[in-house]
């Protein structure tokens, strides 16, 4: 029994060493990965297959990939000023420009689609502007798109507010809405979401029939 037990423990040790060695090999491969233009092109197509994006955001994504690889590679010598880092900036600019020329990246199409989606999900105009800006949509383009959407909707924020309270089950969509404490919490939530106090108070005071009429009359 003693010999059997020793053999069992010895086998476990060998197995652990094999697994650990395998992990070290994987880590070594990751550390030795080189940043090349081909790698960035492949990373770009892989990202665009999953996500719609803007020029600025795509550039940020690629730059983060470069920094992660260079941080664990032998090339980590003066990242900010090294020749390799300068080369990657040129590659990234060129790749992003190429994606734009192929219409695989289109700031206007992205912003219009994203803004409509955000309105459908009950976001206020303030929140829409903030989220588009976060994704790198230029300020002038944001203003243009918000203006175009405002022309299609008589009251964009009012519609977004109604959708917001329906999604969150606030106001007339809440069976306990008569509770003043709950009303104050709902109003505070709407203000944090970017809706004005006046609009929030008015919307929360509307009957369910009025809210549903707004929802069905105003469709994007």
Per-residue DSSP letter, 178:
T
Q: What pLDDT sits at residue 76? A: 47
Q: What pLDDT sits at residue 27? A: 46
Closest to 119 in 3D by CA, of 82, 146, 100, 101: 146
- By residue count, the chain amounts to 220
Q: Distance between CA atoms of 34 and 120, rounded to whole angstroms? A: 43
Distances (CA, A) of 54 to 23, 29, 89, 128: 37, 32, 17, 15
Instruction: Evaluate whether 153 touches 120 at the Cβ level (below 8 Å).
Output: no
Distances (CA, A) of 73 to 9, 44, 62: 37, 21, 17
Q: What pLDDT sits at residue 63? A: 93
Q: What pLDDT sits at residue 196? A: 87
Instruction: Evaluate whether 128 touches 115 at the Cβ level (below 8 Å).
Output: yes
Q: Distance between CA atoms of 191 and 172, rounded to whole angstroms? A: 18
Mean pLDDT by 10 residues, the chain (220 residues): 52 58 50 80 96 96 89 55 77 96 96 89 84 95 89 70 89 79 89 88 90 74
Q: What pLDDT sits at residue 103? A: 96
Q: What pLDDT sits at residue 183? A: 85
Q: What pLDDT sits at residue 216? A: 79
Q: What pLDDT sits at residue 100? A: 97
């Amino acid at each position: 029994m003693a010999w059997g037990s020793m053999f069992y423990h010895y086998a476990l040790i060998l197995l652990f060493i094999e697994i650990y060695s395998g992990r070290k090999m994987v880590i070594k491969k990751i550390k030795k990965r080189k940043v090349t233009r081909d790698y960035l092109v492949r990373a770009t197509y892989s990202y665009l297959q999953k996500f719609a994006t803007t020029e600025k955001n795509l550039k940020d994504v690629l730059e983060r990939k470069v920094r992660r690889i260079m941080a664990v590679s032998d090339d980590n010598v003066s990242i900010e000023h090294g020749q390799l880092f300068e080369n990657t900036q040129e590659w990234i600019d060129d790749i992003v420009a190429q994606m734009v020329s192929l219409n695989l990246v289109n700031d206007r199409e992205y912003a219009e689609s994203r803004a409509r989606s955000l309105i459908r999900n009950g976001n206020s105009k303030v929140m829409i502007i903030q989220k588009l800006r976060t994704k790198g949509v230029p300020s002038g383009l944001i203003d243009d798109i918000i203006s175009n959407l405002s022309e299609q909707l008589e009251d964009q924020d009012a519609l977004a507010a109604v959708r917001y309270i329906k999604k969150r089950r606030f106001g007339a969509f809440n069976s306990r809405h008569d509770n003043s404490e709950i009303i104050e919490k709902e109003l505070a939530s709407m203000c944090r979401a970017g809706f004005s106090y006046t609009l929030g108070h008015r919307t929360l005071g509307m009957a369910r029939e009025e809210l549903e009429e707004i929802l069905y009359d105003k469709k994007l």
